């Protein structure tokens, strides 16, 4: 699998995206933990830290930022490099395997342990056994902040029970309506356990653990209905923002003879937005209609994608994304469940909900193709 975590991280920059909304909750929890920490140094560790946006974003303005010392652990070299460039003095970024306790040697016991973006990317067995091991990383009264999606079957009740069984008291639990994420905060009330540097905490399996996954970009179709239109809107803006980075020559340049140019990809996704809207409207009017294939490759030539005006394409792109998102926002339960015969990847009866999720996949997948 070649999931592009860099494209995925860009969603944090788009207000209203599920990742941006979750980040805001996590940052508030971190700020509260720092506010209530005892006087003196505050040691932390952060697992699968990515670019470190959660903690580093809080430290920029927090009055106790000078007291915070610790380690961000991230396996991806580029993400680790970005975090390192942003980290203030006293914050170490280690490019290492967050699933190995050896990666935390010298940085624990910690007063604050961040386990954000981890539980949804490991097996449930590893998730529960890892909670049992967290006291080995903790100082007395340490705070653990964790995240997990709530897609059915919702695992968060079991997570909260396991924290209680492992000697933690729940400080707060955030599961906003119309979202699929949860953020939990627990404090260690039992004695910390001795640290061991030869223990396996978890194996990061990412989206490979889920069904209905794109093997090329890592997109998972296990998206909650409430998350579809926020993703659609934010990813549409992310797509055109990236397209706008190309000049008039490079936007029309094919990297290989058989690989589309950035403008051709943009025209394709723009037309996908238009056609998906038409298909969803048709599914509301007819019983299980058969959707006509869009002829994606033929359109590139017939409609002269590479000769179109990028500014006009961007305007149409955003307008069509808004039309589709507004249409979906107005559907009732029965509207989401209407069906039609979709021909990709093979002919199958698909719900409007699946079509909407698949459209969001198109936005992320082809944004990664803009090179």
pLDDT of 2: 42
Q: Which of 166, 183, 209 is the last residue of a domain?
A: 209
Q: Determine the structural domain holding residue 82 and report its residue range.
A: 5-209
User: How many angstroms separate the CA atoms of 6 and 14, rounded?
Assistant: 14
Residues present in the chain in total: 371
- Distance, CA of 15 to CA of 340 (rounded, Å): 33
pTM to 2 decimal places? 0.69
- Does the N-terminal peptide bond of residue 180 adopt cis geometry, omega within 30 degrees of 0? no
Q: What are phi and psi of 152, to 5 degrees?
A: -60, 140
Residue 210: the pLDDT is 40
How much of the chain, in percent, has pLDDT values that exceed 90? 77
Looking at residue 43, its pLDDT comes to 98
Is residue 122 domain-resident?
yes
214, part of any domain: no
Same domain, 200 and 280: no
Same domain for 295 and 193? no
pLDDT tens sequence across 217-257: 767 787 778 889 998 998 999 899 999 999 999 999 999 99
Supply the pLDDT for residue 283: 97
Residue pair 228/357 in contact (Cβ under 8 Å)? The answer is yes
The confidence score (pLDDT) of residue 208 equals: 40
pLDDT digits (tens, 9 = 90+) for 248-295: 999 999 999 999 999 999 999 999 999 999 999 999 999 999 999 999
Q: At what angle do helices 310-329 and 262-285 cross, to 10 degrees?
A: 30
Q: Domain end: 143, 175, 209, which one?
A: 209
The pLDDT confidence band at residue 76, using thresholds 50, 70 and 90, is confident
The arithmetic mean of pLDDT across residues 27-51, rounded, is 97
Domain count, the chain: 2
Mean pLDDT of the chain: 91
pLDDT in tens, 317-350: 999 999 999 999 999 999 999 999 998 878 899 9
- Whether residues 342 and 263 share a domain: the answer is yes
């Amino acid at each position: 699998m070649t999931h592009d975590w860099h494209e995925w991280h860009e969603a944090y920059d788009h207000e209203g995206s599920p990742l941006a909304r979750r980040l805001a909750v996590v940052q508030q929890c971190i700020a509260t933990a720092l506010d209530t920490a005892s006087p003196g140094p505050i040691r932390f560790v952060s697992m699968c830290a990515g670019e470190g946006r959660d903690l580093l974003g809080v430290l920029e303005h927090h009055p106790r930022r000078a007291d915070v010392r610790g380690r961000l652990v991230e396996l991806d070299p580029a993400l680790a490099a970005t975090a390192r460039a942003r980290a203030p003095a006293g914050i170490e970024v280690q490019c290492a395997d967050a699933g190995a306790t050896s990666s935390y040697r010298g940085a624990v016991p910690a007063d604050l342990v961040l386990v954000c973006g981890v539980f949804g990317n490991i097996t449930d067995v590893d998730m529960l056994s890892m909670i049992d091991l967290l006291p080995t990383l903790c100082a007395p009264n340490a705070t653990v902040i964790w995240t997990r999606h709530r897609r059915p079957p919702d695992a968060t009740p079991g997570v909260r029970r396991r924290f209680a069984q492992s000697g933690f008291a729940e400080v707060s639990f955030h599961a906003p309506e119309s979202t699929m994420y949860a953020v939990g905060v627990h404090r260690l009330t039992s004695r910390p356990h001795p640290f061991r540097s030869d223990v396996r905490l978890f194996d990061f399996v990412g989206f490979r653990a889920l069904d209905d996954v794109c093997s090329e970009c890592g997109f998972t179709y296990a998206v909650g209905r409430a998350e579809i239109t926020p993703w659609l809107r934010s990813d549409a803006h992310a797509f055109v923002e990236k397209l706008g980075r190309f000049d008039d020559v490079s936007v029309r340049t094919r990297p290989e003879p058989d690989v589309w140019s950035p403008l051709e990809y943009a025209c394709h996704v723009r037309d996908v937005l238009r056609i998906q809207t038409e298909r969803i409207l048709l599914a509301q009017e007819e019983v299980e209609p058969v959707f006509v294939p869009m002829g994606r490759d033929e359109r590139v030539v017939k409609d002269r994608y590479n000769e179109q005006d990028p500014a006009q394409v961007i305007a149409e792109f955003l307008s069509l994304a808004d039309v589709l998102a507004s249409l979906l926002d107005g559907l009732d339960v029965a509207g989401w469940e209407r069906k039609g015969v979709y021909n990709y990847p093979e002919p199958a009866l698909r719900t409007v909900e699946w079509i909407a999720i698949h459209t969001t996949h198109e936005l992320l997948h082809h944004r990664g193709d803009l090179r």
